[in-house]
Amino acid sequence: MTATRPLSAPSAGRLLRRSVAASCALFGFLSGAAYAQLEVEISGAGANQYPIAVTDFADTNAAQGRQIAEVVRADLRRSGLFRTVNTGDYVLDVDAAVDYSVWRERGANALAFGSSRVAGSQLEIRYRLVDTVQQAAIDGMSFSGQANRWRAAAHQVSDRICLILSGAQCAFSTRIAFVVKRNGLYELQIADADGHNAQTALRSRESIISPSWSPDGSRLAYVSFESGKPVVYVHHIATGQRVPVANFRGNNSAPAWSPDGNQLAVVLSRDGSSQIYLVNADGSNLRRITQASTINTEPSFTPDGRHIVFTSDRGGSPQIYRADIDGGDATRLTFNGSYNVSPKVSPDGTALLYVTRRNGNFQIAVLNLATGQEILLTDGPDDQSPSFSPDGGMVLFTSSQRGGVLNVNSIDGLARETLSAAGAGVTTATWGPFATGN
């Protein structure tokens, strides 16, 4: 999908986009994920969400125009930054005059509308964004691409609206990877960030766990048990080519990419207890990072690539630590509760995402690394495999209840959504980067 130059000059960002650290400081305990398939539950103070109306797009195929607008509206709501104003069956062509008073009376500070047209195998979408308070156009663009990829075009419209109104890049056009178990088979699937258009990258009768995206989105690392033991593979998405990069004696597990994509952190038990090693992306140049005789596992790089965060029981219970990749003493990061695992650092480096056990429930927590303040994003009882969206504004995780489902929460809890049907068998998941490969 390609985009043309803006039809009008964009305004400066009109929303102060919430950082992870600010969200941790502002919000307290938040409730768990919604339980309806593709049903967004908005909670929290509406005043913290920017009110926007998105009308159905004008199209000779009215259903197509409505579907495009529905995807845009769902994207914006899911972010937690926006409150979508009910537009009913209103359709507004991209070249139509706007009655600003109508939309102000409906409570919308901004209005997005447009038109879509299919010619052969090609789709063209034209959109406009206006400020109903200032009564002025603030953005307009055209997008073109394959007609059968109309959802991708709709996500691009959402990204553009979010960029103009928040001043920050948003993650609606990114992808996610997850593993489902059904009919005795494990499937590694890749889908759009909203859970649609899932494609199977690998199918196996043995377990597939711990998928991890390369920074450029062209590869996935994961653990497969197809040979009868856990082995770490790097999978090239475009070609399907797979390369084993960690196949040593004992367990090989928990791959995590360095920010430059040149190496992986992996967990090996080749020397006895589970320890963290670095290895080049082609499997060469193995070197050990952790030296403690206790279990050290689940590594994840910090955004600067200079440190890893990981889970260790060196203090008597599973807690999260940070260490320099060149060695040295580790610093403990989590102190609330006796069980904190599966750490991920936010893209801006300000917050830590992890699984915590409280009163027997496994919940997703976020820790402000500067202040030490923690919030619980979910209620449990069995929420696992958390990862940040690449813009840091949303969290993807799985829940084993209801047969294994895939969920998204905005980082401040103002929106939450279940992306899969009940009984989907989702076991683990991860959010991909902005730069997505094929």
Residue type, 161: I
pLDDT of the residue at 288? 95
Measured over all CA atoms, what is the biggest interatomic distance in the chain, rounded to whole angstroms?
72
Distance between CA atoms of residues 50 and 332, nearest Å: 38
Q: In CATH, which superfamily holds the domain spanning 49-173? A: TolB, N-terminal domain (3.40.50.10070)
pLDDT band for 95, please (50, 70, 90 cuts).
Answer: very high
Q: Is 49-173's fold the same as 175-431's? A: no
Sorting pLDDT into bands at 50, 70 and 90, what band is 1? low
User: The domain 175-431: what is its CATH number?
Assistant: 2.120.10.30
Q: Is the dihedral of CA 246, 244, 425, 214 positive or negative?
A: positive
* pLDDT value for 422: 84
DSSP 91: B
Mean pLDDT of 218-229: 97
What are the tens digits of pLDDT across the range 176-195?
999 999 999 999 999 999 99
> How does strand 50-54 pair with strand 110-119?
parallel
Number of neighbouring beta carbons within 10 Å of residue 332: 13
**Distance, first Cα to last Cα, the chain:** 13
Q: Where are the domains of the chain?
A: 49-173, 175-431
The band of 64, judged by pLDDT with boundaries at 50, 70 and 90, is very high
Which segment of 10-24, 93-107, 334-348 scores lowest on mean pLDDT?
A: 10-24
Is pLDDT of 319 > 70? yes
Three-state secondary-structure class, residue 298: strand
Provide the residue type at 204 as one letter: S
Q: Is the pLDDT of residue 413 over 90?
A: no
| Cα 361 → chain centroid | 23
Cα 138 to chain center, whole Å? 28
